Structure 1
Amino acid sequence: MSGFASAVITFPGSNCDRDMADALEKVSGNAPHRVWHGDAALPDGLDFIALPGGFSYGDYLRSGAMAARSPIMQAVVEAAGRGVPVLGVCNGFQVLTESGLLPGALLRNAGMNFVCREVRLTVENSQSLFTSGYSAGQEVLIPVAHHDGNYFADDATLDRLEGEGRVAFRYAESVNGSARNIAGVLNAAGNVLGMMPHPERMIEAEQGGIDGRTLFESAIKGLVGA
């Protein structure tokens, strides 16, 4: 799609950056910029930034903790503050919480096992940039692959997220012990989304479904039009 410029950040240990880049290119028609964690600046004129899944820095200390302090993350935080949309998936969600762009934390799964399967999600907020192509209450199928996906926040924070419509997705059934089955949350401005499930792995029928494609289509349409 003409005029759409995106970037995918790669950290040491990222393993879903190619999947994310492929999804963005296939949906938008434009190959994203590939940005290394050690870079000090982002390309000019970005419409969209994605933090992919993986095991950045080997999940040393806490998942996403070291990546959140990479040189490039200062630029990402500043871009988010200017309103540039930022999507963090799986490890990217962990990086967003560790960098302070989203509240809460991702703990070890309640069962202490790595969970890798397709899960059913309920769309809780269909009014955001990322979710406008879905209907409120719609059930979608998206894969998960994580060991530290148990979303935690104190009750006051959870109540605020619920009250402000910032829960984007919820697991239709308990997957990892996440508080209130939360699978994805938005920041107060609505331009930052963190989610544990992988929408980039559900953009073509050959992958088993296209429910994830809608997320990227929603964002691109909202940014540059149909």
Structure 2
Amino acid sequence: MINLIAVGELIKKAKSKGINFGGGDPYNRLRYYTKIGWLPHMIRKVGKKRSVEGHYPDWALERLQSITEWKEEGLSNLEIERRIGAENVRRGFGRVFSFMNSSEGKRNAFVYGSVALLFVILIAEFTTTGSRIRSNLQTSYNGTGQVSTGINAITASGNGIFPSGIKTVFVKAPTALTTSKIYITFTGNYSPATRYWVSNIVPYEGFYIELDSPVAQNTGFSWWVSD
């Protein structure tokens, strides 16, 4: 049985443990993590106040702590994705073996077949989730503003900061060519901007990232260059 925690209580406990939600609404940050597959989807049920509330599994608090620690270590979103994928697999194994070792599982041989089927479904779900995250993170913008997706050999990567009040930054990347694909993902809230793109690539030097509006606060981002 999965223990659930209301989203409001989850945010309260997370803040008490020093988890950083950035400058925006913590609820929106949780929705973003859910969208990219870092957290599971909420389950809506009647809460303590007799109203319908969103609930997460109680282990979501531990996941938020891990994400905060990984970001503080300077890991990129792709590296965080890999660690979350490994955690999901371990958690899936744990649920399966815990049930198989229970008295109920030992008494009912039919259940073993059901658990095996569930395990196959879990593996398929984790694989699909990982593909969706990679697809989200690997949307690229070339010099003409066209959007392209795909997985190519990474020739350079790194992290950067958009200073407050700035809408254009130059990223040093000696492997960048006019034919290169540039992948960008923001690790913080870049509002009031709503769009970003690579406005120019300087061969063997780097590239410019441009926003449609200056950021309101220092905002981090990760980048990759592929051939």
Whether TM-score is above 0.5 comes out as no
Normalized against structure 2, the TM-score is what? 0.25
Higher helix share: 2
